[in-house]
Amino acid sequence: MAMTEPTTPQPGIKRFIKIDWNVGALKAASPRYWSWVGMLVIMTTLGVLAWVVVLTTGGNAMAQRDNFTWGMWFADYMFYVGLAAGGLVVYASVHLFGAEQFRPLSRLAVLMAGLLTMIALLGDLTDLVRVWRIFWFVVTPNISAIFVYTGSAAGFYMVLCFVDLWILVTGVGGEKLAFRMTLIALPVAIYLHTTTAFVLALNKSRELWNSAVMVPIFLTSAVASGVALLLICAYVLQHYHVLEFKKSMFRSLATLLATVIITDLFLLVVEIATVYWPTAAKAGHTLRFSEFMTGPYAVQFLPVLILGVIAFSLLAGRKTRHIPAIQITASALYVLAIFFKRYTLMSMGFAIGPLGQTQAPYIPSLVEALIAIGLLSMGMLFFTLAVKILPLRVPEEEHAEAGAWELAEATGEPVVEPGVAL
């Protein structure tokens, strides 16, 4: 189904790989825009330099040690992979469940998912001190190592997101192809989140990770933080007149967010109950968990609960849920809560080591922090440029077309697996 070809190209629009790149918008951009871009470029450069330090001097420049085997990068990997779920949810809602109110978000959501997965993967690479040997990953992958699955899933998902974005932006294949892509992207996304959770859950050596609830909790945290981030970005882009959204869309997002947050918190409480209930409590578990409830790690873990409860309370009231300030605050709190959660999850593997020795909390070194900030800046830089030059606005007529196609196809399509309860 051919999309509307631009008959009279506007000045400043360059056509390349079938996309109309709005290069003119960059030329017209305000000095504020450019100073923001400049700052991101500087931060990214600092990150690259920090990585060069790691590559030339070895891992000693990082604060990770034998006792804290993984650090910042791993917390970030879980965090970003989770945030990418926002894209999945919106995309799937539009193209599988016909949630038309989210359609204006679809391109933005896919773009964010792609970028977030990209920085998650790059974070992983920057941690490998012998990164140039990474080809072994392809030559002799070990089928029993979970990292092979999550790593390749992330790579595949990233590519998929960018292909998807291209399809959405160019309109190649129309709604039909977009729908088919969803059928691929959705299972891949779930696979990515599951395998990432499996890195923790399938490891018997780290008591607090080795829990089956890790997988559903990973999915709920991912969806909650992803939707929250999307909501924030949508408001930001609306503020800068890049995109416009209906109020009802934000309300739908907020309701979805509240539902997922409470599910997420519920699962966490279930896990805590299993650790502490007298008939279930095992010394190794309770001792380790207590480090996070009352010990030196409580500053990492209690914010997860506190911020989570506040975020939910803000969104729980029907009367206030539609207020933008409330939505934004709750979303920001929950994104922050999930960051703390990822950081604690990382720490939970190491707070008390396999030989029972208690470790002081890990704080990333300057080099690690710069790498992390550099990667985030890089993601934001690409995002900032993309929202200017990519046609992220979903044309009105696409709604009508899509509706018509859905009606025609609805009866013929098989029932989609109810994998994600949205």
Partner 1 sequence: MSQDFPRDERPEGATAPEGTTFSRRHFLTSVGIAAGVVAAGVVPAALMAQSANAQDATATSSEPPVAPGASADPLAEIIAADGPANYPGHPVHYAKPAGKEKWAMVIDVRACVGCRKCVYACVEENNIGRNSGFTYIQVLEMEPGKIDLESAVLDYDEAGRPDKWYFPVQCMHCAHPPCVYGCPVQATWKEPDGIVLIDYNKCIGCRNCMITCPYGARHFNWVRPEVPAAEINPKVPLGEKAWTAEKCTFCVQRTRNGQTTACVEACPTGARKFGDLNDPNSDVAILLKTRRVWRLKEEYSTEPMIWYVG
- For partner 1, the binding residues (CB under 8 A) are 58-60, 62, 64-66, 69-70, 127-131, 133-134, 136-137, 139-148, 151, 202-206, 283-284, 287, 349, 352-357
Q: How many CB atoms sit inside 10 A of residue 142's CB?
A: 10
Cβ 88 to partner 1 shortest distance, Å: 25
Rounded Cα gap, residues 96 and 182, in angstroms: 7
CA distance 297 to 302: 9
How many Cα atoms within 13 Å fall on the side-chain side of residue 329? 14
Name the minimum Å distance from CB 150 to partner 1. 10
Give least dist CB 353 to partner 1, A.
5
* Nearer to partner 1 among residue 65 and residue 246 (C-beta): 65
Nearer to partner 1, 69 or 255 (CB): 69
Buried b (16+ CB within 10 A) or exposed e, 178-210: bbebbeebbebbbbbbbbbbbbbbbeeebbbbe
- CB atoms closer than 10 angstroms to residue 293: 15
Q: Closest distance between partner 1 and the C-beta of residue 143, in Å?
A: 7
Which CB sits closer to partner 1, 201 or 237?
A: 201
Nearer to partner 1, 8 or 144 (CB): 144
Using alpha carbons, select from 17, 8, 33 the residue that is nearest to residue 165: 17
Q: CB of residue 133 vs partner 1: minimum separation in angstroms?
A: 5
Q: Indicate the residue among 6 and 141 with the shorter CB distance to partner 1.
A: 141
CB of 69 to partner 1, least distance (A): 5
Residues in the chain: 422
Smallest Cα–Cα separation from 367: which of 45, 70, 50?
50
- Rounded distance between C-alpha atoms, residue 262 and residue 224, angstroms: 9
Number of Cβ within a 10 Å radius of residue 8: 4
**Structure token pair of residue 59:** 């891992």
Q: Which is nearer to partner 1, 110 or 352 (CB)?
A: 352
Shortest spacing between CB 22 and partner 1, in angstroms: 41
Q: 64 vs 263, which CB is nearer to partner 1?
A: 64
